[in-house]
């Protein structure tokens, strides 16, 4: 059953059958880690992207014992899913959930386990999920696709966060231990360029694409009304994957895939990082090889994509507004109106809390407003930034559990980069956030 059929043939169906093929003949083996760092229904798109990435790798001959999948796994069987047991990444595509390994799910999806997987720490993961790890060696390539929310120098897991410098240190550790020949990362999150800036040498076999530059937000794609009232993909994810679907990975170069992703992800700036010479390798070097390929789902024009995109952090609100517009009963309308009001109130509360924290630290209202709007494109005060973010996360709002409280994080960075002491910032969060740390749903 295709998603498009449920939309009453809103868009033309195009078959996308695949045939599993043999392993790539590239030197060494290919290993992959696929991560969706979110857990809410409104974040459907990130699990859909990761499931689609799995289907590409599997169809290209990479065996399941070489692919580790980390996702909360509460989308396919979610009580509000109008297609139980199925996930779609395109209006004209097939179910991408079928056959996907559930190696690490729920709260097992965290930075600590992600690092253990990449280190090949099977002992450390004994009794956790599938226990599967990357057992790569000096001639092997590692492909990582990671999707979710981010801020400057941060990627959010469901209840925790991964810092750019920690990830960079891990990659350097793996390289020193001869864990890989080359590694490629596709990161689909807001501010994802800041996860790589000035952190990776250009001679260690590391290459990455970020969905955005250092400060930009990302956008959701294929956002529809009934019956799903949700977004099927992240625009960066569907852009690079639909291109891979349509091309022969043996002949398409990584730089060609980058150019396509950059063109189609038109609302944020897709960027390259690390050893850019790797762009001259074929896609097959990291995603496997297939001897033949079939027509992919329809590739949408820029105009069609524009009609279905939503800023990533606004997806929960837009979904509720669409449901309210289509609601029939007075009871349903009242419930949805109440949810919208509650969501807007939470956003106002976050802004108010942020203002109070900054004013307490800066001591000047005009300066506080400047610190809340300044665009900071570089992190130098890593220790202060870590302490400040941890304090807000522990004392105010759980950053890995919300889509809008993350707007406060650039302000915390501005305080640190302006020379304020982290102890003062930490104390301000304790004074202002007199309520228990809130686990937000949107």
Domains of the chain with bracketed CATH: 3-13+20-312 (3.40.50.1460), 327-432 (1.10.132.130)
- Read off the pLDDT of each residue in 153-157 and give the average, rounded to a whole number: 94
Sign of the torsion angle spanned by Cα atoms 110, 115, 121, 123:
negative
Confidence bin at 93 (pLDDT 50/70/90): confident
Closest CA to 230 of 296, 156, 308: 308
Q: Residues 230-248: pLDDT tens digits?
A: 999 999 999 999 999 999 9
Alpha-carbon span 139 to 201, nearest angstrom: 19
Look at 48-62, 140-154, 233-247, 303-317 and tell me which has the smallest mean pLDDT.
303-317
Residue 137's alpha-carbon distances to 75, 142, 179, 182, in angstroms, are 34, 10, 5, 10
Stronger pLDDT, 93 or 148, i.e. the higher one: 148
**pLDDT surpassing 70 at residue 259:** yes
Structure tokens at 253: 């170069």
- Read off the pLDDT of each residue in 74-88 and give the average, rounded to a whole number: 96
> Given this model, what pLDDT does residue 183 score?
98
Q: Residues 171-194: pLDDT tens digits?
A: 999 999 999 999 999 999 999 999
Closest CA to 62 of 13, 7, 8, 21: 21
> Given this model, what pLDDT does residue 27 score?
73
**pLDDT surpassing 90 at residue 207:** yes
Structure tokens at 235: 């625009």
Q: Give me the half-sphere count of Cα atoms (radius 13 Å) on the Cβ side of residue 42.
A: 22
> Given this model, what pLDDT does residue 351 score?
87
What average pLDDT is seen over the chain?
A: 88
Look at 53-67, 122-136, 192-206, 404-418 and tell me which has the smallest mean pLDDT.
404-418
| Torsion angles phi and psi, residue 167, rounded to 5 | -65, -45
> Given this model, what pLDDT does residue 302 score?
65
Residue 397 near residue 387, CB atoms below 8 Å: no
**pLDDT surpassing 70 at residue 438:** no
Look at 6-20, 251-265, 271-285, 353-367 and tell me which has the smallest mean pLDDT.
6-20
- Read off the pLDDT of each residue in 344-350 and give the average, rounded to a whole number: 87
Alpha-carbon span 387 to 69, nearest angstrom: 30
> Given this model, what pLDDT does residue 92 score?
85
> Given this model, what pLDDT does residue 23 score?
40
- Read off the pLDDT of each residue in 56-64 and give the average, rounded to a whole number: 95
> Given this model, what pLDDT does residue 296 score?
54
> Given this model, what pLDDT does residue 263 score?
93
> Given this model, what pLDDT does residue 212 score?
96
Look at 54-63, 218-227, 324-333, 346-355 and tell me which has the smallest mean pLDDT.
346-355
- Read off the pLDDT of each residue in 50-65 and give the average, rounded to a whole number: 96
Look at 165-169, 399-403, 416-420 and tell me which has the smallest mean pLDDT.
399-403
**pLDDT surpassing 50 at residue 18:** no
Helix axes 422-432, 330-362, angle to 10 degrees: 140
**pLDDT surpassing 60 at residue 382:** yes
**pLDDT surpassing 90 at residue 74:** yes
Beta strands 67-70 and 141-147, pairing class: unpaired
- Read off the pLDDT of each residue in 406-414 and give the average, rounded to a whole number: 86
Q: What is the dihedral of CA 410, 412, 413, 419, to 10 degrees?
A: 150
């Amino acid at each position: 059953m295709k998603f498009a059929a449920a939309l009453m043939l809103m868009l033309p169906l195009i078959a996308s059958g695949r045939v599993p093929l043999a392993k790539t003949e590239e030197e060494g083996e290919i290993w992959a880690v696929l991560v969706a760092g979110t857990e809410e229904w409104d974040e459907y798109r990130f699990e859909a992207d990761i499931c689609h990435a799995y289907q590409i790798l599997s169809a290209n001959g990479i065996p399941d014992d070489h692919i580790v999948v980390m996702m909360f796994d509460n989308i396919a069987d979610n009580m509000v899913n109008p297609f139980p047991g199925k996930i779609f990444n395109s209006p004209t595509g097939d179910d991408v959930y079928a056959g996907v390994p559930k190696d690490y799910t729920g709260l097992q999806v965290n930075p600590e386990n992600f690092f253990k997987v990449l280190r090949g720490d099977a002992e450390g993961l004994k009794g956790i999920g599938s226990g599967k790890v990357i057992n790569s060696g000096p001639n092997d390539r590692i492909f990582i696709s990671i999707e979710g929310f981010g801020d400057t120098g941060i990627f959010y897991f469901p209840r925790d966060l991964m810092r750019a410098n920690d990830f960079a240190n891990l990659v350097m550790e793996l390289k020193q231990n001869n864990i890989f020949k080359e590694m490629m990362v596709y990161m689909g999150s807001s501010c994802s360029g800041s996860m790589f800036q000035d952190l990776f040498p250009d001679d260690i076999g590391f290459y990455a694409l970020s969905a955005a530059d250092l400060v930009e937000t990302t956008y959701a794609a294929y956002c529809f009304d009934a019956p799903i009232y949700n977004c099927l993909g992240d625009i960066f994810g569907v852009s690079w994957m639909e291109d891979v679907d349509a091309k022969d990975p043996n002949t398409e170069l990584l730089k060609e895939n980058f150019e396509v992703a950059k063109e189609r992800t038109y609302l944020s700036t897709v960027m390259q990082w690390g050893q850019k010479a790797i762009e001259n390798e074929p896609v097959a070097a990291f995603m496997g090889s297939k001897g033949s390929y079939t027509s992919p789902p329809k590739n949408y024009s820029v105009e069609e994509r524009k009609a279905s995109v939503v800023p990533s952090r606004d997806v929960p609100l837009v979904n509720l507004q669409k449901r309210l517009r289509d609601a029939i009963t007075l009871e349903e309308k009242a419930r949805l109106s109440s949810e919208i009001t509650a969501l807007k109130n939470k956003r106002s509360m976050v802004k108010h809390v942020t203002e109070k924290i900054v004013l307490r630290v800066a001591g000047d209202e005009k300066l506080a407003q400047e610190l809340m709007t300044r665009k900071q494109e570089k992190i130098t005060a890593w220790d202060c930034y870590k302490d400040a973010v941890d304090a807000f996360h522990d004392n105010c709002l759980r950053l890995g559990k919300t889509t809008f409280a993350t707007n406060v994080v650039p302000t915390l960075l501005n305080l640190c980069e302006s020379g304020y002491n982290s102890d003062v910032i930490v104390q301000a969060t304790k004074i202002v956030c007199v309520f228990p740390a809130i686990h937000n749903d949107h």
